[in-house]
Amino acid sequence: MYFSLATALTVVGIWLSLFDRLFIWGTGQFVLAVAFLQWFILLHEAGHRTLFRSKTLNTAAGHLAGLLSGFPYSSWTLIHFRHHKWTGWQDMDATTASLVPRPLRKWEQNVINFCWKSWIPLFSLIYRINNYWNYPRVVQYTRLHEQRKKVARDILVLLVAYVSLILIIGPSTFLQIFGLAFLITLVMQEVILLSQHTHIPTNVSEGKPVRPFPPLEQEVYTRSLRFPAWVSSFVLMHFDAHELHHMYVHVPGYNLRKISYKTHNEVNWWTWIKGSKRLSGVSFLFDDRTRTGFEL
């Protein structure tokens, strides 16, 4: 059902985006942005093999979802599995290692603060490129030659696919159909992604041997957003229930809210946006609530 919904939204969004009338085109861009967000969530589910019962269907759906959301599938599975293993250890988790507090140059602070206040999805873009497209960085997390080959293959296949599409339909048509929609979906994803683990007290191993936290102990290092029920269910497949996902990682997203457990770090989505945007970008990304007093 979710796979069919994302497919339908993609087709409708592309069709509407081909119109020259501004309102119809804008509607198509928003529909397509939502579709891209759903493909990202489907990628997440397929990577956990919780979208379908069949491993083959999950792998096929994962590759297609990766193509339509901008993530090489093999990079995604490698980095995301490491994320779940090392949640709670900021420098061991590949997705949070770049946010370990460090001295920042003045220009870096200015860029981060400006983009954060202006809703420019800098983090969402860097998260995507650095964690999943940066081949040397991705493969440092595996010694398996076969896995490294899969990462290289998927990055290359997606690059060829995107370049081929641009050459076939032309750069201007490509931007007309996908440009604004991709920007909108980056903004949407940034709201969700940065809510999940940022500005939460966590640990830094500093190179010392440490043990991973088991799933049921990861709740304290995770935050959930609370959207309206229909958004959470039909649009996000309960991807916003991030604490439950980390605690019960093998439960499909569409069943997460059936778990009778009230999580401790869930916050209303609009309350979180307003509160987090009151902080500077540098403070939000590199500090935590024990140092800033930011509580929701």
Domain definitions of the chain by residue range: 2-292
The answer, yes or no, to whether residue 290 has pLDDT greater than 90, is: no
Rounded Cα–Cα distance for residues 293 and 296 (Å) = 10
Cβ neighbors of 102 (< 8 A, separation 6 or more) are 286
Burial of residue 45 (CB within 10 Å: 0-12, 13-18, 19+) is buried
Confidence (pLDDT) at 234: 92
The answer, yes or no, to whether residue 294 has pLDDT greater than 80, is: no
Is residue 289 very low, low, confident or very high in pLDDT (cuts 50, 70, 90)? confident
**pLDDT tens-digit map of 75-104:** 999 999 999 999 999 999 999 999 999 999
> Is residue 223 within 8 Å of 242, Cβ to Cβ?
yes
For the residues 173-181, what does the mean pLDDT come to? Answer: 97
Among 7, 21, 137, 129, which Cα is nearest to 61's? 7
Is residue 291 very low, low, confident or very high in pLDDT (cuts 50, 70, 90)? confident
SS3 181: helix
The answer, yes or no, to whether residue 295 has pLDDT greater than 80, is: no
Confidence (pLDDT) at 3: 95
Percent pLDDT > 70 in the chain is 100
Q: What angle do CA 81, 150, 88 make, to 5 degrees?
A: 15
For the residues 118-144, what does the mean pLDDT come to? Answer: 95
Q: What is the 3-state secondary structure (H, E, C) of 20-77?
A: CCHHHHHHHHHHHHHHHHHHHHHHHHHHCCCCCCCHHHHHHHHHHHHHHHCCCHHHHH
Q: 224: which strand partners? A: 266
The answer, yes or no, to whether residue 119 has pLDDT greater than 90, is: yes
For the residues 233-255, what does the mean pLDDT come to? Answer: 95
> Is residue 253 within 8 Å of 239, Cβ to Cβ?
yes
Is residue 107 very low, low, confident or very high in pLDDT (cuts 50, 70, 90)? very high
> Is residue 31 within 8 Å of 12, Cβ to Cβ?
yes
Instruction: For residue 159, give the H/E element and its range.
Output: helix 145-169
Q: 203: which strand partners? A: 89
**pLDDT tens-digit map of 27-72:** 999 999 999 999 999 999 999 999 999 999 999 999 999 999 999 9
The answer, yes or no, to whether residue 288 has pLDDT greater than 80, is: yes
Confidence (pLDDT) at 292: 83
